[in-house]
Amino acid sequence: MQIFAFCLVLATAVSSAADLAGTWKLEQTGRNGQRRVTTYVFKTGGETFTGLVATPTEQREILHGVIRGNQIAFDTHFEFYEANRIDSYKGEINGEQLSILPANPPQGGRAATPIVLRKTSNETVYTPPPELARTHKPFPPFQPIAPNGLAQTPPMGWNSWNKFAGRIDDATVRAIADAMVSSGMRDAGYVYVNIDDTWEGARDSRGSLHPNSKFPDMKALADYVHSKGLKLGIYSSPGRTTCAGFEGSYGHEEQDAKTWAEWGIDYLKYDWCSASAVYHRDEMAPAYQKMARALLATGRPIVLSLCQYGWLDVGTWGAAAGGNLWRTTGDIRDAWDSMSRIGFDQDGREKVAGPGHWNDPDMLEIGNGAMTDAEYRTHFSLWSMLAAPLIAGNDVRAATPGIREILTNREVIAIDQDKLGAQGFRVRRDGALEVWKKPLSDGVAVGLFNRGAQAAWMTVKWAEIGAAAPSKVRDLWGHEDVSAGAEFAADVPAHGVALLRLRHD
Residues acting as catalytic residues? 271, 331
Site pattern 323..342 for ligand GLA (x: CB under 6 A): --------x-----------
320 touches 144 (CB < 8 A): yes
Single out the residue of 495, 257, 245, 210 nearest to residue 377, CA to CA. 495
Tell me how far, at minimum, the Cβ of 35 lies from ligand GLA, in Å: 20
Nearer to ligand GLA, 161 or 336 (CB): 161
Nearer to ligand GLA, 306 or 446 (CB): 306
Tell me how far, at minimum, the Cβ of 169 lies from ligand GLA, in Å: 16
- Write the DSSP symbol of residue 122: S
Nearer to ligand GLA, 243 or 364 (CB): 243
When asked if residue 388 is in the footprint of ligand GLA (CB under 6 A), the reply is: no
Binder to ligand GLA among 67, 244, 396, 445 (CB under 6 A)?
244
Positions 180 through 239 that interact with ligand GLA (CB under 6 A):
196-197
Determine how many CB atoms are found less than 10 A away from the CB of residue 89: 19
Single out the residue of 456, 454, 445 nearest to residue 503, CA to CA. 445
Segments of 59-164 assigned E as strands: 59-68, 71-78, 85-94, 97-102, 115-121, 156-159
Site pattern 254..283 for ligand GLA (x: CB under 6 A): -----------------x------------
Cα distances from 24 to residues 51, 87, 97, in angstroms, run 11, 19, 9
Q: For the chain, state the CA radius of gyration.
A: 26
Positions 291 through 320 that interact with ligand GLA (CB under 6 A):
307
When asked if residue 161 is in the footprint of ligand GLA (CB under 6 A), the reply is: yes
Q: Is the dihedral of CA 495, 434, 415, 227 positive or negative?
A: negative
Tell me how far, at minimum, the Cβ of 234 lies from ligand GLA, in Å: 11
Q: What is the DSSP string of 181-194?
A: HHTTHHHHT--EEE
12: Cβ–Cβ under 8 A, 6 or more apart, which residues? 69, 70
- Write the DSSP symbol of residue 147: P
Tell me how far, at minimum, the Cβ of 102 lies from ligand GLA, in Å: 23
Tell me how far, at minimum, the Cβ of 326 lies from ligand GLA, in Å: 12
Binder to ligand GLA among 20, 177, 243, 325 (CB under 6 A)?
243
Nearer to ligand GLA, 81 or 142 (CB): 81
Name the site residues for ligand GLA (rule: CB under 6 A): 161, 196-197, 242-244, 271, 307, 331
